A and B are shown apart, each in its own frame.
Chain A
Amino acid sequence: MNSAKLVMRSISKRFGGIAALEQAGLEVRAGEAHALMGANGAGKSTMMNVLGGVVRPDHGQILIDGEVVSFASPTQAKQKGVSFVHQELNMLPSMTVAENVMIDAMPTRGGLVDRKAMRLRTAELLRRLDCTFSPDTLVETLSMGDRQMVEVARALVTDPGIVIFDEPTSSLSEREKRRLFDVVLGLKRDGVAVIYITHFLEEIFEVCDRVTVMRNGTTIETRDMHAITAGEVVTAMLGSVEAEERVRPAFISIEPPLLAASCLSRDGAIADVGFEVRPGEVVGLWGLLGSGRTEILRAIVGLDPLDAGELRWRSGDTLDIIRPDKLHRKVGFVTEDRRGEGLLLPLSVAKNISFGNLDKVKGAFGMIDAAKEKTFASGFVERLRIKLSSLSQPVRTLSGGNQQKVVFARWLGTRPKLFMLDEPTRGLDVSAKTEILRLTAELATEGAGVIFVSSELEEMMRVCDRYLVVHRGRIVANLYGDATKDDLMHAVSDGRVAA
């Protein structure tokens, strides 16, 4: 029971010059639930992809039951007893539970699918997972929690020795979470080695025996859950947060609010959210991934629906009620998915910048004037110092940082009074990050209101004037720019309203 089921040693992996994993290690025992924690980009996913056979490490060793193994594909990993329950469920909605569970391992008799055997095996697995629905139920009629159980069942078909859970609770109700925890406990009892990845600190204290924290591609420490506190875990995850220099001093805006939101809700994502944004200030929405920050932003501008709530926008002396799709026209929204939603990749830099600004680049007869477009775009290229060789090159060919600057340029052109920046520095190198933060401060100094969302505390502390702490779709604290890193970390790890 104390022997290591899985050992990953000195795993290193580079993707095109960038080290995703640097001498990372992990050791999990049979019958143990082992938490794997780390901020975005810390290397957890790559580590698990190595274990799951999706990616081959450059260096390092994997040992299962003391035997060195190497996987060329996910199928090989499965054969060695590694099962992965992904965050994104791979469900086949119009098919039955039994079919979903056994689709990759269907029993046959005489050339035809043996439905009885399928049903029996599935029922056995469902019982083990304490599920009450029948194997003949259609998956599309099941709740998210039940579907996840089906995914777990599929992972268990091969009787794996190692099961990885990746963010299993992000879409579950309280009751469904409890059931999942029972499942993990059950697996432990059966001697399975469980690796549990989550952002929700309180969960690992409930369910796991040990925790390994990763940061910057390497393993920081591994400790027993009894011997560590939540705060220590967060510190290990985020590193010592040196009070890095602010890009501008904390600013308290005394002007009347630009935007006032109240009672915003959407079932399953946002609950009773209310806040204000004033001109000239940078308000940070701080919380760990999955806390609902992006959902709030998207709902405000109508990209996702709102079940309830009210938005008010300043016009003249009053705050008038405004609909999300109308607010969309007044706000500059830098989304967190730069490549998928922020830009139109095959189009040129100039064209991407002019979107939403087309009225400014028109010439005779209301036609878009290519020369005007170029001039307009080059103004921003200069101001933001975007590195490119030609305004007509496809934006897809720019580096991440420069792509992000193009996104900013587009919204800057529309001169909005409010900017919403969702993870604007994600995937950028250090100097690009600083440039974006400076730009953010500039926007505020010029009089706009800015809502800034990020999972990196250090960067938020360099630019935010105020912090709204978000946890599970609710705003749980409102702190001012003079809040210390401890205050902020407490707020996010406790998940309770701070003093």
Chain B
Amino acid sequence: MNHLKPLVGLPLVLVAILTFFSVMTSHFATAGNINAMLHAMAPLVIMSCGMALVVFSGKLDISIGSIAFLSATLAVLLINDHAVPPILAFLASLVAGIVLGALNGFIVVVLGVNALIATLGTMIALRGIALSLTGAVLIPLPTQVARLGNLTIGPLFADIVVLVLVVIAAHIVHRHTVFGRRLNAIGNGEDAARRIGLPVDRTVFASFVLSGFLAALGGIVALLQVGAISAYLGRGMEFTAVAVVVVGGISLFGGRGAILPGILLGAFIFEAIANGLNQMSANPYAYQLITGLIIFLAMYVDAMQHRRKAAVRTRR
């Protein structure tokens, strides 16, 4: 369980945050609030899992927010304007996510464009398409469908169950499948991986497809939570997902870290801060300030570790 070492500080940070907010507000540490927090962070967690898979191979996908937006838009339009049954509409969304992920994969692997620029381009273009389809207005879902957003299974919200399933599945894929191990290998060193004979291009392509799929899934969950499609869906999500990934101990250089428990802890920290500040009626943008500081700290730790390890490697 060596991947847990860099995360030693996280649970402490979390406990510190939870204690702070419990003291400052009256309803923080209640079961109901925790339920609400997990519910709210579901889309972020799902999308961060997709981002993490790409990051493990040493690349980035900053188009996930736009893929989420476009896929969700597709679902809304199918349901509202074409009377498509919700299940089919959501299925279509997921397919859209896969196709868009494949588009990213094509640009990065086949056209050989740097992943950051490629997904920057698709991020802008796809958001543009989605906005033009919706006219940037708020489009509500029909009430029966919107109610799905509050579906509960026992005491838990349904999307928490989805969250748990996705996180477990992503973790298993990364640590226990040949595909996941290849991703990790590529992140350790793309040249070494190629020389060993691993199918680098196919693996990277697949990681973008998965990222797109999970982005679409996250978009659907977000859509159901709000009950309507707004121009803000997914906006800035990619940067928050990067933050969750970095804070969760997954190195942006690739090849290090794991989905569990990092992504859950990371996302929960950010959600707890947002929730707590909200309950304190603090300035909502204090959140951004604190978030930025946390990212910076996590990155500093990542860079220091990377340098230490690189130094050891080159000593002959």
In the complex, A touching B, CB below 8 Å? Answer: yes
- Of the stretches B184-192, B259-267, B279-287, B295-303, the one at the interface is B184-192
A345 CB to closest chain B CB (Å) equals: 19
Are A95 and B188 neighbours in the complex by a CB distance under 8 Å? yes
Are A104 and B188 neighbours in the complex by a CB distance under 8 Å? no
Are B255 and A94 neighbours in the complex by a CB distance under 8 Å? yes
Are A112 and B309 neighbours in the complex by a CB distance under 8 Å? no
Task: Choose among B188, B197, B315 the residue that contacts A93 (Cβ–Cβ < 8 A).
Answer: B188
The 6 A-B residue pairs whose C-beta atoms are closest, nearest first, are: A92-B188, A90-B192, A171-B316, A112-B176, A94-B256, A94-B255
| A371 contacts the other chain (CB 8 A) | no
Complex formed: what's the CA distance from A115 to B177 in Å? Answer: 10
Complex formed: what's the CA distance from A178 to B178 in Å? Answer: 35
| B82 contacts the other chain (CB 8 A) | no
| A303 contacts the other chain (CB 8 A) | no
Task: Choose among A103, A112, A268 the residue that contacts B315 (Cβ–Cβ < 8 A).
Answer: A268
Q: Collect the chain A residues with CB atoms within 8 Å of residue B193's CB.
A: 90, 92
| A75 contacts the other chain (CB 8 A) | yes
Complex formed: what's the CA distance from A111 to B256 in Å? Answer: 23
Residues 166 to 190 of chain B near chain A (Cβ within 8 Å) = 172, 176-178, 181-182, 184-185, 188-189
Residues 160 to 194 of chain A near chain B (Cβ within 8 Å) = 170-171
| B198 contacts the other chain (CB 8 A) | yes
A91-B192 contact, Cβ under 8 Å, with A112-B177, A113-B178, A268-B316: yes
Residues 85 to 144 of chain A near chain B (Cβ within 8 Å) = 86, 90-95, 99, 103-104, 106, 108, 111-113, 115, 138, 140, 144
| A231 contacts the other chain (CB 8 A) | no
Q: Collect the chain B residues with CB atoms within 8 Å of residue A268's CB.
A: 315-316
Q: Say what secondary structure dominates the interface of chain B.
A: helix
Besides A90-B189, A269-B316, 15 other CB < 8 A contacts?
A91-B188, A92-B184, A92-B185, A92-B188, A92-B255, A93-B309, A93-B313, A94-B256, A103-B181, A103-B196, A103-B198, A113-B176, A140-B313, A144-B316, A268-B315
Are A106 and B181 neighbours in the complex by a CB distance under 8 Å? yes
Complex formed: what's the CA distance from A90 to B196 in Å? Answer: 7
Are A92 and B197 neighbours in the complex by a CB distance under 8 Å? no
Complex formed: what's the CA distance from A93 to B256 in Å? Answer: 10
Complex formed: what's the CA distance from A434 to B63 in Å? Answer: 58
Task: Choose among B184, B196, B315, B316 the residue that contacts A104 (Cβ–Cβ < 8 A).
Answer: B196
| A60 contacts the other chain (CB 8 A) | no
A168 CB to closest chain B CB (Å) equals: 13
- Chain B residue nearest to A114 (CB atoms) is B176
B190 CB to closest chain A CB (Å) equals: 11
Q: List 8 A-B contacts (CB under 8 A).
A: A86-B195, A91-B189, A92-B185, A93-B313, A95-B184, A103-B198, A113-B177, A268-B315
| A74 contacts the other chain (CB 8 A) | yes
Residues of B within 8 A of A (CB): 2, 172, 176-178, 181-182, 184-185, 188-189, 192-193, 195-198, 255-256, 309, 312-313, 315-316
| A78 contacts the other chain (CB 8 A) | yes
Q: Collect the chain B residues with CB atoms within 8 Å of residue A170's CB.
A: 316
Q: Collect the chain B residues with CB atoms within 8 Å of residue A92's CB.
A: 184-185, 188-189, 192-193, 255
Complex formed: what's the CA distance from A115 to B176 in Å? Answer: 8
Q: Collect the chain B residues with CB atoms within 8 Å of residue A90's CB.
A: 189, 192-193, 195-196
- Chain A residue nearest to B187 (CB atoms) is A94
Q: Collect the chain B residues with CB atoms within 8 Å of residue A171's CB.
A: 316
Complex formed: what's the CA distance from A242 to B187 in Å? Answer: 52
A27 CB to closest chain B CB (Å) equals: 27
Q: Collect the chain B residues with CB atoms within 8 Å of residue A269's CB.
A: 316
Are B255 and A95 neighbours in the complex by a CB distance under 8 Å? yes
Q: Collect the chain B residues with CB atoms within 8 Å of residue A267's CB.
A: 315
B309 CB to closest chain A CB (Å) equals: 6
Q: Collect the chain B residues with CB atoms within 8 Å of residue A86's CB.
A: 195
Are A103 and B189 neighbours in the complex by a CB distance under 8 Å? no
Are A140 and B309 neighbours in the complex by a CB distance under 8 Å? yes
Complex formed: what's the CA distance from A378 to B172 in Å? Answer: 64
Are A138 and B189 neighbours in the complex by a CB distance under 8 Å? no
- Chain B residue nearest to A137 (CB atoms) is B2
Complex formed: what's the CA distance from A86 to B176 in Å? Answer: 28
Are A104 and B198 neighbours in the complex by a CB distance under 8 Å? yes
A489 CB to closest chain B CB (Å) equals: 27
Q: Which of A91, A104, A138, A154 has most B Cβ within 10 Å? A: A104
Are B178 and A108 neighbours in the complex by a CB distance under 8 Å? yes
Complex formed: what's the CA distance from A308 to B256 in Å? Answer: 35
A103-B185 contact, Cβ under 8 Å, with A78-B197, A112-B172, A140-B309: yes
Q: Collect the chain B residues with CB atoms within 8 Å of residue A140's CB.
A: 309, 312-313
Q: Collect the chain A residues with CB atoms within 8 Å of residue B315's CB.
A: 267-268
Are B177 and A103 neighbours in the complex by a CB distance under 8 Å? no
A199 CB to closest chain B CB (Å) equals: 15
Complex formed: what's the CA distance from A108 to B84 in Å? Answer: 41
Complex formed: what's the CA distance from A171 to B313 in Å? Answer: 12
- Chain B residue nearest to A111 (CB atoms) is B177
Q: Collect the chain B residues with CB atoms within 8 Å of residue A113's CB.
A: 176-178, 181
Q: Collect the chain A residues with CB atoms within 8 Å of residue B316's CB.
A: 144, 170-171, 268-269
Q: Collect the chain B residues with CB atoms within 8 Å of residue A75's CB.
A: 197
Complex formed: what's the CA distance from A44 to B158 in Å? Answer: 65
A104-B197 contact, Cβ under 8 Å, with A94-B255, A171-B316: yes
Q: Collect the chain B residues with CB atoms within 8 Å of residue A154's CB.
A: 196
- Chain A residue nearest to B195 (CB atoms) is A90
Complex formed: what's the CA distance from A93 to B253 in Å? Answer: 13
B107 CB to closest chain A CB (Å) equals: 25
